[in-house]
Amino acid sequence: MSEYFPAEIHIGGPISRAALPDLFRAICAEGVSLKDYDGPQATEESLEEAFREGQVVRLCDAQACYGQFDALEAFLVEQRIHFDRHSDAFCEFSAENVHYRGEGEPLITPADQRGNSLVPCSEVLAVLNGSQDPDAKLIAIRNLVDPPQAAPLTPIRFV
């Protein structure tokens, strides 16, 4: 049995114009709303207008399967399109953030309900108790609390 709970995904950064038709179809297949949870389902026309504005596009679903957009996220990674996703906590599922900036695998981090990423104390303590020099420890802790893959999304730019 699937669980359905709120999630939102933000899309930004460089996007190939050639990928837009397939991107719009992938978004429409998810049944998401533009900008807020109570809005109408996004259409190819409404998406075209939203993407033309050149800002980060926010898509929402109050009933996302496991708080994820599996097919859309796979498409975005395949096309190297930047995105952030936040899923609320629900029952035994913790809130999480996912960040992808066009390279490698998406970074998944635990989060609070407001979308703030969380770092397990055990990871910080492992760095502090390690044998690295103090400067290397500071860099390692900074990368834990502010990973480069979670840099803010930039506005949409067509390439």
Distance CA 68, CA 6 (A): 9
Q: Three-class SS of residue 65? A: strand
Per-residue pLDDT tens digits for 24-75: 999 999 999 998 888 899 999 999 999 999 899 999 999 999 999 999 999 9
Per-residue pLDDT tens digits for 11-27: 999 999 999 999 999 99
Which pLDDT does position 35 carry in this prediction? 83
Per-residue pLDDT tens digits for 71-127: 999 999 999 999 999 999 888 899 999 999 999 999 999 999 888 989 999 999 999
Element (H, E) at 11: strand 4-12
